[in-house]
Structure formats: structure tokens, C-alpha cells
Amino acid sequence: MIYLSRLGYLLGLEGVALLRGFREGGSDREFVQARIAEVRALLDDPALAEADGVTAEPGAIGPGEVYRSWAAHYDAGGNQTIDAEQPVVRRILDGLPTGVALDAACGTGRHTAYLAELGHRVIGVDGSPEMLAQARKRLPHAPLFEADLHRLPLPGSAVDTVVCALALVHVPDLGPVLAEFARVLRPGGHLVISDPHPVSAYLQARTPRTGPDGRPALIADHYRPLSEYLAAALPLGFEVRHCEEPRRPPLPLAPGAPRPDALPPHGSREILYWCPEAANAALADTPVTVVWHFQLAR
């Protein structure tokens, strides 16, 4: 069980801000004293002192349950992970030859539609029927299949490009899924992967949800060091063409803007405005995602 505390998270941000300042040279005496004073203020804040923490069971909610509730508003904007990831992925796709492209874990079809605009013959696969329903609205004539990444409904050497965006974090073992990508790719084909960065896993506030038993629970996720992608991909014949780690922009702040009066829910980004200077010092310019471009050896 994991005990989630908004006060604990804010104190953690203050600590990260100090450590980054010590290491990167951004902490003068005034900054350090401000952080110490803010820590004392947070500890004395009655709103935080009276706020009950949440004890949640890790891994008790599968991605299907979460995407069921996300599907209708997934494309509404304001998702910092997508905002960081999408331009990098599209820049890579812009440089690839057109052919048959598989969007594995296509979700609402945001990359599928872009591949189609580039001239690819597209195929989409996703495990969430709710997300696929949104993709079908966007691409009513594209072949879109409900399937697991471990068992793609395609013959071997069927596609020229595979895209898998922000989905492998839900897979406990990369090896079998990357082997399936290698199976359906033609020799010389391209694999473009994006995934949440492991650094972001440590720095973002966790969001508890209601589990199957009605108690607070956390989604099953698997943040991994970058070396694990290489360890899974290279033995399959994949060669690295590019790797990029898009960064988090600073928290937008209006001059003199007060923090929210009401304590935001657990996991809400609004909690950052309770200590915005520390949040920017801790989070700004840290990796949000990792984007890989592999090519299958000929």
C-alpha cells in the first residue's frame, strides 16, 4: 500500500528544488532561505495539516479501466506529456518513406491520422474499445482492430513502419512486444516509440482512482531506465537511429498570482501553485518522455 500525501509531495518538491540548485548552480543564499522558509510555512499550513492522506493499492487498476474514462476527453488538450511527445514523433515520421504503417496502441488515432496525411496506408490496433470508438470517428474508413500488442492481427513482414506512442509503460516486459513489432516489420522497416520518461515518474504527483473493490487504487505502470529499451531492441536486430528526451516547460505563472484557496485533489497539477518557485526549480527542463527511432536491420 502507498500513502499519498499532498503535504509530503510539496515537501518533496522543495527538496528536489534544493538538490537541483546545489548541483546545477541555481541556488544562491536567497533561494535556499526561501525554500527553508516555505517548508516551514507548508508544515504550519492548517489546510495541509487537516487534509487527510489517501492510502492506495498500487497496480490495482488496469489501463483499460483508466482509458475507458479518458476516451471521451483524451484529445481535449492540456496534456503535458502529449504536448512534449507529439512534435518529436511527427518530426521523425516526416522523414520516413511512405508505405504501410501500423499505429500500435493507436488510442484515439492522433498519430494514425497524421500517418494517413503523410500518405501511408494505415492500420490501427488498440486494446481499448472506447479509445477505438474515438479513432473510428476520426478515421471512419481505416482498418482499426481491437487487439493486444502481444498478438498483433497481422502476418509477418506486413508493414514498413510501426508507431507505438505512450503505451509501453503499461507493459510489464518489453521483450515480447518488441519481438512482435519486429515480426510484422519488413527488413529495413522503422519503429518509432514514445513512452513516459522514468524521471517524470518520480516527480509527478500520483492520482488515486477508485479500484474494483471501491477503495483507492493506482494504475499498473512500468517506468523503466532507458537501457531497458536497448536491451530489448538490439538483440532483435533493431538499430538506433535517434533518441530524444523532450523536456518539461516552466510552470506558467502570472505575476503576483495567488495560489488556489481550495486544496486541489490528489494528483492535480494545481497543487504546484502552492509552491510555484520550488515547482519550477524542481520540474522545469526535466525529461517528460523518451522518443526512440529504431530501424530493423536488412
188: left (phi over 0), alpha (psi -120 to 50) or beta: left
Q: What is the pLDDT of residues 198-208, one digit of tens each?
A: 999 889 888 88
Digits of tens for pLDDT over the chain (298 positions)? Answer: 888 999 999 999 999 999 999 998 878 899 999 999 999 999 999 888 877 788 888 877 888 787 887 778 887 777 888 999 999 999 999 999 999 999 999 999 999 999 999 999 999 999 999 999 999 999 999 999 999 999 999 999 999 999 999 999 999 999 999 999 999 999 999 999 999 999 998 898 888 888 888 888 888 899 999 999 999 999 999 999 999 999 998 877 766 677 788 888 888 888 999 999 999 999 999 999 999 999 999 8
CA dist., res. 219 & res. 65, Å (int): 9
Q: What is the pLDDT of residues 249-265, one digit of tens each?
A: 887 776 667 778 888 88
* Crossing angle for the helix pair 29-44 and 6-24, to the nearest 10 degrees: 170
Q: Where are the alpha helices (DSSP H) in 128-211?
A: 129-138, 174-184, 198-203
- The answer to whether the CB of 84 falls within 8 A of the CB of 288 is yes
Helix (H, G, I), strand (E, B) or coil at 239: strand
Domain ranges of the chain: 2-296
Output the pTM of the full model. Answer: 0.92
For domain 2-296, the question of CATH label 3.90.1150.10 is answered with no
